[in-house]
Structure 1
Amino acid sequence: MIRTFILAVQTAPANNAGMNLWDMVVMGGWLMIPIFILSVIIIYIACERFWLIHKTGLTDVPFMEKIQETLKTGNTRAALEECEKEGSPLAHTIAKGIKISNEDPQEIRQAMEDTANYEVANLERGLPTLATCAGTAPMIGFLGTVVGMVQSFYDMSMAGNSIDIGLLSRGIYTAMITTVAGLIVGIIGQLAYNFLVARVDKIVFRMEHYSSELIEYLRPKK
């Protein structure tokens, strides 16, 4: 039986030299369907969040320069108009501070932090789902490994002494292909998640920095 198993593994690639990607997907079995669905979800969330987060940080520096120049003249209405025109998470946070500029600096800081937390939550929307998909895909792949090996041993037990190589290789293909597919999808998802989280953290740091600068500009000059 062991010799037959080794022979099946050695001869399968030769017999399927012309196998294309679609053939591999089909041989992976029905577990390739949820892995494919997870890959679509990962790609969609990663692309949509990347574009939004990337667009968010493009105009931060020019925007803050305009706000600072406007506040130097004491024209808070023009500053609020700039914030409304910008429409970014940073602009919403800065606008909150300007609207209550007559309050105590500590209250201004707290209000801006609350607004920033809300804006950051919007930026992070979808990232938990991305992390879940990235972690689930390899698990489904490993499930395919178990299912494939169970199928192989079942086929061997049913075949008795006349083990057919085709029956044996069916379970092996299911085991290997689902594992590879699950790992590929999981790796891509994890890399995308880590990258996007790092970008959000960078935006949070810049929002905190600019919020502190705004409070200094709003503080009454002695």
Structure 2
Amino acid sequence: MFTILQVPATDTLNQVTQVAENQTQEPIVKETSLYELIFSGGIIGQSIMVLLFVMLFAVLFIYIERWLTLKSTTKVDANFMPQIKTMLSQGKLSEARSFCKAANTPVARVIEKGISRIGKPIEHINMAMENAGKAEVYHLEKNTHYLATLSGIGPMTGFLGTVVGMVLAFREMAEAKSSRIDMSMLSEGVYTAMMTTVFGLIVGIIAYLGYNHIIGKIDRFSHKLEAEGADFFDLLNEPA
């Protein structure tokens, strides 16, 4: 005779439930913080990232400083030239020069240079005002060439970090004792190395946009400066 073994229903149910849980269980993904992602590239990668952050700080500082300077010094008072016209028509040259010095703006300094040359040939007046205008524009362009330089150096430094990271990743794979290639070695080195490229491009883009914005404002102001100079020559050429 055969003996039939009976398995309790509760044990069978537990086994089925355990198998289902094992099948539906998702793999645990290790979360990496942004700080670890940025500064996990070894001493070389960390040095490059620190350099990129210094570049980013320099870009923001130069841009904000130039923007504030342009905002405060390039304002043109609508009543400035009419008051200069009134003083010149009354022959008050010293009062007109004092008024320009008190205004202490690029336009006022250029006009003051022209007033100081009244009585000399018109070519001398024009040359003096042009030189004064160039000096004012040069002063406004102070440190802007650093923005242009950083817009190119930033991405190049990021690419350098990427190349160095790739070299280190492949060297680690070559020196691995196991003959089997572990893709985790390569992938970790790649995404760490690519972070330098990302931040290098961020530095380059911000520097490029900041440089063009500042230069554009300076160009517009230089045209305004030329227009004010033309108005001054019109005052000189008006019949007495």
Give the alignment's TM-score, normalised by structure 2. 0.80
- Cα distance in 1 for partners of 2:91, 2:232 equals 13
Structure 1 position 221, deviation (Å): 1.9
Higher helix share: 1
Deviation beyond 6 Å, 4+ runs, structure 1: none
Confirm or deny: 8 A CA contact 2:74 2:106 kept in the other structure: no
Q: What is aligned with 2:61?
A: 44
1:179 aligns with 2:194: no
| Aligned equivalent of 2:30, options 7, 10, 15 | 15
Q: What is aligned with 2:239?
A: 221
- Cα distance in 2 for partners of 1:170, 1:164 equals 11
- Cα distance in 2 for partners of 1:126, 1:162 equals 54
For residues 179-222 of structure 1, what are the alpha-carbon distances to aligned partners after superposition, in whole Å with 9 as ceiling and x for unaligned?
00000111001000000000011111111111111112123625
Q: What is aligned with 1:26?
A: 39
Structure 1 residues 62, 139: closer, same or farther in 2, change over 3 A? farther
- Cα distance in 1 for partners of 2:90, 2:191 equals 72
Q: What is aligned with 2:140?
A: 123
Higher relative contact order (CA 8 A, sep 6+): 1
Root-mean-square deviation (CA, aligned residues, Å) is 1.8
Q: What is aligned with 2:5?
A: none
Confirm or deny: 8 A CA contact 1:150 1:171 kept in the other structure: no
Structure 1 residues 65, 57: closer, same or farther in 2, change over 3 A? farther
For residues 137-176 of structure 1, what are the alpha-carbon distances to aligned partners after superposition, in whole Å with 9 as ceiling and x for unaligned?
0000111111111111111111152445554344213321
Q: How many residues align?
A: 207
- Cα distance in 1 for partners of 2:87, 2:218 equals 28
Larger Rg: 2
Confirm or deny: 8 A CA contact 1:80 1:95 kept in the other structure: yes
Confirm or deny: 8 A CA contact 1:108 1:215 kept in the other structure: no
Greater Cα shift, 28-37 or 103-112: 28-37
1:54 aligns with 2:71: yes
Structure 1 position 66, deviation (Å): 2.8
Residue segments in structure 2 that go unaligned for 5+ positions in a row: 1-28
The residue type paired with residue 119 of structure 2 is N
For residues 76-120 of structure 1, what are the alpha-carbon distances to aligned partners after superposition, in whole Å with 9 as ceiling and x for unaligned?
222111211111121111100000111111211111001111111
Q: What is aligned with 1:107?
A: 124
The residue type paired with residue 183 of structure 1 is L
Confirm or deny: 8 A CA contact 1:27 1:177 kept in the other structure: no
Residue segments in structure 1 that go unaligned for 5+ positions in a row: 1-13
SS of alignment partner, residue 79 of structure 2: helix
Give identity over the alignment, percent.
36
1:88 aligns with 2:105: yes
Greater Cα shift, 102-111 or 160-169: 160-169
- Cα distance in 2 for partners of 1:37, 1:153 equals 29
- Cα distance in 1 for partners of 2:79, 2:30 equals 63
SS of alignment partner, residue 137 of structure 1: helix
The residue type paired with residue 217 of structure 1 is L
1:58-207 equivalence runs, <5 A? 58-159=75-176, 160-164=178-182, 167-207=185-225
Structure 1 residues 45, 62: closer, same or farther in 2, change over 3 A? farther
Structure 1 position 123, deviation (Å): 0.6
